[in-house]
Amino acid sequence: MNELSWTVEREARRVVVVPVGAVTITTSGEFEGVLLAAAAEADVVLDLAGVTFVDSSGLSAFVAAYKAGVAHGHTVVLDPVPPFLARVLKVTGLGTLLLSPQKVI
């Protein structure tokens, strides 16, 4: 089952997006829109503790949010990151973009 839900928590200087489930080609479209809107508004933290799977379209959504953040003068970081995703970020080199500097693998 490819279900994904999320909450968006607005704090004083950042937006925390908390997805739960699988970020896949069938779930990433609307989710990416949420990330892009958040990245245009403030710094974004994606709390991925509840994410069970991420495919290439999910990674693409994270990168698109990062690029939107840069374009608007904001940061987009993934924190925390489940172990399976940490390995993917390391292998792809995306950890240098998407993890906070002190957590780069």
Residues 69 and 90: their CA atoms lie apart, in Å, by: 21
The answer to whether 50 touches 25, Cβ cutoff 8 Å, is no
Please indicate, yes or no, whether the overall pTM of this predicted structure exceeds 0.85: yes
| Terminal-to-terminal C-alpha distance of the chain | 30
Looking at 1-105, which runs of residues are DSSP E strands? Answer: 4-10, 14-23, 43-46, 50-54, 76-78
Q: For each of the domains in the chain, give its residue range(s) and CATH number, in order of start.
A: 4-103 (3.30.750.24)
For the stretch 34-82, pLDDT in tens is 999 999 999 999 999 999 999 999 999 999 999 999 999 999 999 999 9
For the stretch 67-77, pLDDT in tens is 999 999 999 99
Report pLDDT for 12: 87
Token pair 């896949």: residue: 24
Q: For residue 80, which of 16, 32, 11 has the smallest C-alpha distance?
A: 16
